[in-house]
Amino acid sequence: MNSNKKINSVVTTVLACAGILGVFMGVGYYSFDHFRPQLLTTVFSNVDKKLPYGVTPAEEYFSGGRGGTTFNHTSRTFEQPAPVLTATKDIEKAMIISQRFEDGEAFFETINVSDPDAPSSGLGPVYNKTTCISCHPNYGRARRTDSFSQDFGNGYIAMVHTEDNKLINTVKFMLQTMAVPPYKPPVDKVHITWNDYVDKYDNKYPDGTSYNAGKATEGTLTFPTATLEGVNVPLPEGYRVSLEATIGIFGTGLLDAIPDEAIVAEAKRQAASPGSVKGKTGAWVKEAHDGKKHLGRFTWHNTRATLQGGSGFNGIWSVSNLTREDRPQLFASQAWIDQQEALGLDTEPLTQKQPVEMTGEDMDVFMTWHRSLAVPAARNLDKPEVQRGKAVFNAIGCASCHKPNWTTGEYPLLPGYNNQKIWPYTDMLKHDMGKENRGFTTFFRTPPLWGRGMMRTAVDHTDMFHDLRARDFEEAILWHYGEAKEVREMFRQLPAEDRAAVIEFVKAI
Amino acid sequence: MRKSFLCIAGFTGILAVLAVGGLASLSAVDTRKYIADKVVDEVLDDYLNRVVVPGLDSLTDSLMDLNKITQELTTQPTEQTPLEIAKAWRVARGEWNKTAPFWFGPAIYYGLDLQISAWPIDEPLINRSLQQIAAGEMEVDAQYLRDPLSMSQRGFHTADYLLFRNGQARHLDDITAAERRYLSATVQAMTEDALSLEARWIGFEHLADDKKSVLKASAVKIDDMNFGKEFLLAGSSESRYEQKSDALLEIFQEAVGAAEGMCPAIIDSFNNDNYKYGLAWYNQDEIGEYQNGISGLENAYYGGEEGNRESSISELVAAHNPILDKKIAIGFADFKYRIESLKNVKQLSKEQRDLLTRRAEDSCLKLEARIEVGMNTVFALPNVLP
Q: Using one digit for the tens of pLDDT, what is the confidence trace for A175-192?
A: 999 999 999 999 999 999
Judge: B110–A152 Cβ closer than 8 Å, yes or no. Answer: yes
Alpha-carbon span B184 to B140, nearest angstrom: 9
Judge: A41–B118 Cβ closer than 8 Å, yes or no. Answer: no
Task: Name the nearest CA neighbour of B220 among B243, B198, B242, B241.
Answer: B198
Handedness of CA A212, A216, A222, A226 (dihedral sign): negative
Give the C-alpha distances (Å, rounded to integers) separating B137 from B132, B134, B194.
5, 8, 29
Alpha-carbon span B45 to B232, nearest angstrom: 6
Residues in chain A with CB shorter than 8 Å from the CB of B320 are 40-41
Tell me, what amino acid is at A302? N
- The 10s digit of each residue's pLDDT in B291-326 is 999 999 999 999 998 888 889 999 999 988 999 999
* Phi, psi (rounded to 5 degrees) for A358: -145, 110
Judge: A178–B242 Cβ closer than 8 Å, yes or no. Answer: no
Residue environment code for A368-382, b if the CB has 16+ CB neighbours within 10 A, otherwise e: bbbbbbbbbbbbbbe
Give the C-alpha distances (Å, rounded to integers) separating B301 from A284, A417, B312, B368.
53, 36, 6, 12
Query: Considering CB atoms only, which of B16, B124, B316 is closest to A26?
Result: B16
Identify the closest residue of chain A to B107 by CA–CA distance: A138
Q: Which of A115, A345, A418 to mutate to test the interface with B (most CBs of B within 10 A)?
A: A115
- Give B 216-245 residues with CB within 8 A of chain A: 225, 240-243, 245
Give the C-alpha distances (Å, rounded to integers) separating A485 from A276, A440, A478, A489, B369.
9, 20, 9, 6, 53
Residue environment code for A17-43, b if the CB has 16+ CB neighbours within 10 A, otherwise e: ebbeebbebbeebeeeeeebeebbebb
- Give B 69-98 residues with CB within 8 A of chain A: none
Q: Per-residue pLDDT for chain B (386 aa), expressed as one digit of tens each?
A: 555 666 666 666 667 666 655 555 555 656 666 777 788 899 999 999 999 999 999 999 999 999 999 999 999 999 999 999 999 999 999 999 999 999 999 999 999 999 999 999 999 999 999 999 999 999 999 999 999 999 999 999 999 999 999 999 999 999 999 999 999 999 999 999 999 999 999 999 999 999 999 999 999 999 999 999 999 999 999 999 999 989 999 999 999 999 999 999 999 999 999 999 999 999 999 999 999 999 999 999 999 988 888 899 999 999 889 999 999 999 999 999 999 999 999 999 999 999 999 999 999 999 999 999 999 888 865 543 33
Judge: A119–B276 Cβ closer than 8 Å, yes or no. Answer: yes
Tell me, what amino acid is at A274? P
Confidence of residue A48 (pLDDT cuts 50, 70, 90): very low
Q: Supply the mean pLDDT for chain B.
A: 92
B28 contacts chain A (CB < 8 A)? no
* Phi, psi (rounded to 5 degrees) for B316: -70, -40
DSSP annotation string for A88-124: -S-HHHHHHHHHHHHHHHHHHHSPPBS-TTSTTB---
